Amino acid sequence: MTSSLPPLNPLLQQCGKRTRDIFAAGLDESLRDEEKSARIRLSVKMNDEYKEVRELPGSLLAQQGPVGPARPKEQRKAITAGPSSEAGRMIAQIDNTPVAQPSTFSSSSNLRTALQLHKTTRTIKPTYHASWKLVRVISGHLGWVRSVAVEPGNQWFATGAGDRVIKIWDLASGELKLSLTGHISTVRGLAVSSRHPYLFSCGEDKMVKCWDLEANKVIRHYHGHLSGVYALSLHPTLDVLVTSGRDASARVWDMRTKAQIHVLAGHTATVADVKCQESEPQVITGSMDSTVRLWDLAAGKTLTTLTHHKKSVRALAIHPTEYSFASASAGGNNIKKWKCPEGTFVFNFSGQNAIINTLSVNSEGVFFSGGDNGSLSLWDYDTGTAFQTMDDIPQPGSLEAEAGVFCSTFDMTGTRLITGGADKTIKDNLKYEKCGVTTAALRASGGNCRKYDECDRDGVEEVLYALA
């Protein structure tokens, strides 16, 4: 005859009850910590953790003087909100006399001088720059003009647009010289090599092409980007090409062998612009993740990440002679100047509250920024002062919303500024210097003034019309 085992649930409940009865009972009063030992433990902790910060070092105490607000002489009773906690009462008993330290200024005159210096506004006088005027509008593209590059010999320039065509224009006359077809989507970046007869292009079709300008055909493709390629830049001394795009990476290519040397990974969104320079940092990228990264080209790693921008960084510009660069995004205080090689922040170019699509700077310190709303600003690069602001005028047949400026570049002399925009045109801006020729001298010369094209003096047109 087999006896059945008792069920487990009642046994477990009974054991649980007994365990609770043992451990839930109140502890013996003799086992509680004495108040004295608690105070000792608390004072040791205060001494160990806060001894170094409870009073100033001797060197700073020696500099202190009687400057500062005087303490009230009579003792005033503090209003308490009720009984404090046990720990608070212990702390008050241990350290009940905090010493009030006076001001660290040695005398009232030093304090007065510091306040006056703080209120003084220091203004730096900007360098004078001549005004710029629109002299030519070039039509020919059937889509938004997204990229422009000037040939190092300053004879022609190239533009790429949403119509998938690269067009070569004569710089002096603005006439179309050549059209190159091969891309199957918008051409977003162009660069002309100063050491080879090559033109490099990239587009939203993931393609990076090398064009031989002697044969006017594509001789190399650089495969590797996983999405549209938005920008490219040539290294000034190495046979290296750097491209960036929507796959959140910048890629370094060997120009000759088409090999991918590095994948510069680290950005978390589209890398909208990339620039190369000869000295460190040799590669700079700006991304839609609102950061700018400075890269070690040899190691293929990030040197510094600049996080000052609040929105997408869409444009970069490296000064041709000064060891600095600028970056631009959207919103207020959106154009920033940085010092190389550490990427030290210098100042903001304040005043153009727009999405900045393009930046350009010449060797004379004229800094151009073009906005998505058609606003154009010319700045003194040294001081960040805007000396000229304009609005892009959409061409007849375009919508008012098509006033955005997408790309820009100065020619090799720095006296011409070429921009491309949403109205499918290329605009040529020229620097106008006042030549000093008076209307009387112009009348005496019979209107034969060789500087007429550069002249911006009132009355010249009337005089020439009267002489004619």
Q: φ, ψ for residue 271 (rounded to 5)?
A: -90, 105
Specify whether the CB–CB gap between 244 and 231 falls below 8 A. yes
Residue 8's alpha-carbon distances to 5, 12, 15, 22, 169, in angstroms, are 9, 6, 11, 22, 94
Q: Which of 87-96, 391-400, 424-433, 456-465 has the highest mean pLDDT?
A: 424-433
Residue 457 has pLDDT above 70, yes or no: no
Where does the pLDDT of residue 159 fall: very low under 50, low under 70, confident under 90, or very high at 90 and above?
Answer: very high
Residue with tokens 């047109």: 461
| CA distance linking residue 255 with residue 198, whole number of Å | 10
Specify whether the CB–CB gap between 455 and 435 falls below 8 A. yes
Residue 133's alpha-carbon distances to 16, 140, 378, 392, 423, in angstroms, are 91, 21, 11, 11, 19
253, containing H or E segment: strand 249-254
| CA distance linking residue 230 with residue 123, whole number of Å | 39
pLDDT at 165: 93
Q: 349: how many CB neighbours lie within 10 A of its CB? A: 24
Query: What CATH number is given for 133-431 in this structure?
Result: 2.130.10.10
pLDDT at 233: 93
- 62-71: pLDDT as tens digits: 766 555 455 5
| CA distance linking residue 132 with residue 421, whole number of Å | 18
pLDDT at 454: 45
pLDDT at 93: 66
426, containing H or E segment: strand 425-432
* Domain span(s) for CATH 2.130.10.10 in the chain: 133-431
Q: Which residues contact 435 (CB under 8 A, 6 or more apart)?
A: 451, 454, 455, 457
- How much is the pTM? 0.67
Quote the percentage of the chain above a pLDDT of 90: 35
- 221-264: pLDDT as tens digits: 999 899 999 999 999 888 899 999 999 999 999 989 989 998 99
| CA distance linking residue 285 with residue 117, whole number of Å | 39
Q: Bigger pLDDT: 83 or 411?
A: 411
Where does the pLDDT of residue 189 fall: very low under 50, low under 70, confident under 90, or very high at 90 and above?
Answer: very high
Q: Bigger pLDDT: 250 or 51?
A: 250
pLDDT at 330: 83
Q: In 3-state terms, what secondary structure has residue 48?
A: helix
DSSP 95-145: S--PPPP--S-SSHHHHHHHHHHHHPPP-PPPPP--EEEEEEEEE--SS-E
- 399-451: pLDDT as tens digits: 777 788 999 999 988 889 999 988 889 998 888 765 555 555 555 555 555 44
